[in-house]
């Protein structure tokens, strides 16, 4: 009985925390569009310029602590959108401890999953020339990022500037992606390399499911 009531209290606390996060966004960033049924499990860090365009689609879930995803989250979700930048997050999207930095443009289409502690950066943050780095960050290279529908980015992966991830493509845990990836492939490593076709894997899974149904 006590455990039952404790679970109810935890659920209520989670709902309250999510509602407070919605209120914070509405008050501090009124230009940010947040869709329906967006859930926040733990607070997220936001730094959004008043001239940035930011939209979060329906049915998105943000998890910022290990107790909300036992993959081992080591930081809260953080979203940064600089002056004039665009950050568009599609519907039915999930992320855990993810850091997104949009200085130019980051677009994430529907049904994308970003694993624990992933990072999506459309900037190098600093110039590559060491003498320039000493005095300024002007001249830092940036390029848009596009992650297409149903892509799955594994835990601790890093998506760098200028990258497009194709539909249904899987990026392995810990991968560093510095180039665009086609649809229906599996990539991993640093730098990320092709491992196999995800389309072939899907065919095998469908065949296995068919055999299993016929055997019932």
Full residue range of the structural domain in which residue 10 is found: 2-214
> Locate tokens 């992606």: which residue?
177
Confidence class for position 180, pLDDT limits 50, 70, 90: very high
Identify whether the C-beta of residue 63 lies closer than 8 Å to the C-beta of residue 42. yes
Domain CATH for 19? 2.160.10.10
Continuous segment of H or E residues that includes residue 78: strand 78-81
Q: What is the pLDDT of residues 50-68, one digit of tens each?
A: 999 999 999 999 999 888 7
Task: For residue range 103-125, list pLDDT tens digits in order.
Answer: 999 999 999 999 999 999 999 99
Q: Largest Cα–Cα distance in the chain?
A: 70
pLDDT at 21: 84
Least confident of 39-53, 110-124, 191-205: 191-205
DSSP 103: S
Q: What is the pLDDT of residue 211?
A: 46
Displacement of CA 111 from its chain's centroid (Å): 11
User: In angstroms, what CA-CA distances link 211 with 203, 207, 208?
Assistant: 12, 6, 5
- β-pair partners for 55: 33, 88
Catalytic residues: 126
Q: How confident is the model at residue 98 (pLDDT cuts 50, 70, 90)?
A: very high
Q: What percentage of the chain has pLDDT greater than the value 70?
A: 84
For residues 70 and 167, the model is more confident at 167
- H/E stretch holding 30: none
pLDDT for 5: 52
Paired sense of beta strands 185-188 and 193-197, if any = antiparallel
Q: What is the total count of domains within the chain?
A: 1
* pLDDT of amino acid 68: 79
Question: What is the chain's mean pLDDT, rounded?
Answer: 87
């Amino acid at each position: 009985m006590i455990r039952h009531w404790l679970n109810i209290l935890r659920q209520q606390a989670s709902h309250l925390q999510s509602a407070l996060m919605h209120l914070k966004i509405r008050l501090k960033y009124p230009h940010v569009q947040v869709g329906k049924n967006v859930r926040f499990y733990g607070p997220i860090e936001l730094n959004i310029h008043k001239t940035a365009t930011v939209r979060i689609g329906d049915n998105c879930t943000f998890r910022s602590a290990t107790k909300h995803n036992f993959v081992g989250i080591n930081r809260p979700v953080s979203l940064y959108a600089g002056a004039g930048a665009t950050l568009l997050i599609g519907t039915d999207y999930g992320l855990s401890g993810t850091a997104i930095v949009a200085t130019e443009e980051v677009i994430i289409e529907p049904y994308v999953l970003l694993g624990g502690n992933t990072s999506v950066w459309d900037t190098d943050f600093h110039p590559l020339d060491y003498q320039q780095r000493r005095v300024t960050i002007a001249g830092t290279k940036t390029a848009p990022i596009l992650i297409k529908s149903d892509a799955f980015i594994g835990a601790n992966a890093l998506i760098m500037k200028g990258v497009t991830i194709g539909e249904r493509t899987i990026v392995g845990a810990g991968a560093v992606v510095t180039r665009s990836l086609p649809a229906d492939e599996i990539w991993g490593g640093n730098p990320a390399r092709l491992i196999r076709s995800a389309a072939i894997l899907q065919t095998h899974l469908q065949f296995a499911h068919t055999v299993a149904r016929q055997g019932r």
